[in-house]
Amino acid sequence: MSRYSIFSLVRNALSYNQDWSEAWRSPEPQPTYDVVIIGGGGHGLATAYYLAKEHGINNVAVLEKGWLGGGNTGRNTTIIRSNYLWDESAHLYEKSLKLYEGLSRDINYNIMLSQRGVLNLAHTLGDMRELSRRVNAIRLNGIDSEILTPAEVKAMVPLLNISPEARYPVLGASLQRRGGVARHDAVAWGLARAADGLGVDIIQNCEVTGIKREGGRVTGVETNRGDIAAPKIGICVAGHSSQLAAMAGLRLPIESHPLQALVSEPLKPVLDCVVMSNQVHVYVSQSDRGELVMGAGIDRYVGYSQRGGLAVLSETIAAALELFPVFSRVRLLRHWAGTVDTCPDASPIVAKMPVDGLYLNGGWGTGGFKATPGSGWVFAHTIAQDRPHALNAPFSLERFSTGTLVDEHGAAAVAH
Ligand code: FAD
Ligand code: PYC
């Protein structure tokens, strides 16, 4: 640390940070906006940013009932990848990964993208066949993906137990080298600062309690801080999509479930890639603070609890120990949950709604962090042009009546 930064740190500490300039303004809500975005997570902030940047629409408000990133954006395990099976998803998630690759520079904020590689382990011949099919499909879409032998896996992850005697022996793995992690808070804060810089009003502690309609189209929202008029409203409230849609008289094919994660006490660096196993049912990475970050599937019951049950927690830890017996000596530091909105085909809805002027970006389930910039980019296009971009056209609400589902349960991997 330079002498200047130490002095500046001490000065700011002694002044109780009073002289720090705010990263974004905290304006009072205006009576009218061109677009209101509900939800100040990554998706809402990215949508507002790209509305202003790509479409010149900056009379925009992002309304957040709590604090920015306090929902799933700040609760997720930060895994980023684009190794999806079907063309529709592969194109959308790859767009997002490409945007992530340039995001720090684009918004002038270090999101700490670490493309350390994401491994998906295979433990049976069936797993191996499935991984090969996926890797081939992913590569046909021009996305990096490869198969590793057990020895290659061991070379990447020395602590992994690949003994043939293991209950779930490792027969190989798929690897996306461009996959990895990014700092979730930084993604939210960087996008907020960039959107604010382009004139977007970011309003925290502002809960939307109603959606106003007249003659089949939206006219604005009711909030705990008064009514706000807007001809276009975008809903980006992962975990609460059904509640917000119901305010406009819509019923969505979405279920909300708790999804848990946990971290260990900090360790020295021992794991420099992301390891996922659908079969043993756990994923593990190590954060820049040294904590082992782990998670698995959703709690099976529906609900809005941000805690989750003991069964999933203990199964997750047991699964981690199957793969990494040495972690039995590590202590649990904390665990938490978020509320995820899941669609029947494990793909999102990013679309115009049957009410004019209303748009929904939701149902990302357990895997929307990786989609944050891509989702915001296509959603901004959809709102600005009042029609979907080719990348999000397949992710309509109508697919649940036409049957053109995009089944990505396999790519959602461990978490579904
Ligand atoms: P959020 O960040 O949840 O933002 C929605 C916001 O809307 C919230 O801040 C909420 O307060 C606000 N809101 C709700 N109702 C209202 C209202 N009435 N008025 C105003 N505001 C409202 N994805 C990955 O890609 N990789 C991962 O590794 C990963 N791990 C995960 C691990 C866990 C434990 C969890 C819970 C999720 C994980 N996800 C992961 C999924 C990912 O976190 C989400 O899909 C993504 O962050 C959703 O972003 P968002 O901006 O849509 O939602
Ligand atoms: O989508 O990669 C993912 C993921 C990992 C953990 C939760 N979601």
Q: How confident is the model at residue 4 (pLDDT cuts 50, 70, 90)?
A: low
Q: How confident is the model at residue 416 (pLDDT cuts 50, 70, 90)?
A: low
Per-residue pLDDT of 229-270, as tens digits, reads 999 999 999 999 999 999 999 999 999 999 999 999 999 999
Question: How far does residue 53's CA lie from ligand 2's centre (Å)?
Answer: 29
Q: Residue with the nearest Cα to atom 5 of ligand 2?
A: 79
Average predicted confidence (pLDDT) for the chain: 96
Query: Which residue, chain included where needed, has tokens 């793909």?
Result: 347
Which residue would you say has higher pLDDT here, 225 or 14? 225
Pocket of ligand 1 (CB under 6 A): 38-44, 63-66, 70-73, 75-79, 207-208, 236-240, 244, 259-261, 295, 338, 340, 364, 366-370
Question: How far does residue 276's CA lie from ligand 1's centre (Å)?
Answer: 21
Ligand 2 pocket check: which of 79, 299, 316 to mutate, most ligand atoms within 8 Å of Cβ?
A: 79
Q: Residue with the nearest Cα to atom 6 of ligand 2?
A: 415
Average pLDDT over residues 355-375: 98
Q: Which helix (H) or strand (E) holds 360?
A: strand 358-362
pLDDT at position 413, please?
65
Average pLDDT over residues 83-110: 98
Question: How far does residue 415's CA lie from ligand 2's centre (Å)?
Answer: 6
Domain edges within the chain: 30-114+180-252+345-416, 115-179+255-342
Sign of the dihedral through C-alpha 177, 181, 187, 189: negative
Give whole-number Cα distances, 416 to 254, 297, 319, 333, 410, in Å: 14, 5, 15, 24, 8
Kindly state the percentage of the chain with pLDDT values over 90: 92
CATH of 30-114+180-252+345-416, one of 3.40.630.40, 3.40.50.720, 3.30.420.10, 3.50.50.60: 3.50.50.60
Per-residue pLDDT of 23-40, as tens digits, reads 999 999 999 999 999 999
Q: Can 30-114+180-252+345-416 and 115-179+255-342 be said to share one CATH topology?
A: no
Query: Which residue, chain included where needed, has tokens 């999804």?
Result: 259
The closest ligand to the CA of 340 turns out to be 1
Per-residue pLDDT of 274-333, as tens digits, reads 999 999 999 999 999 999 999 999 999 999 988 888 999 999 999 999 999 999 999 999
Question: How far does residue 283's CA lie from ligand 2's centre (Å)?
Answer: 8
| CATH number assigned to the domain covering 115-179+255-342 | 3.30.9.10
Bridge partner list, 332: 264
3-state secondary structure of 366: coil
Q: Which atom of ligand 2 is nearest to the CA of 118?
A: 2
Cα–Cα nearest to 173, from 144, 153, 143: 153
Residue 336 has pLDDT above 60, yes or no: yes
In sequence order, what are the residues at sequence separation of 6 or more whose Cβ sits closer than 8 angstroms to the Cβ of residue 251?
Answer: 242, 245
Bridge partner list, 336: 261
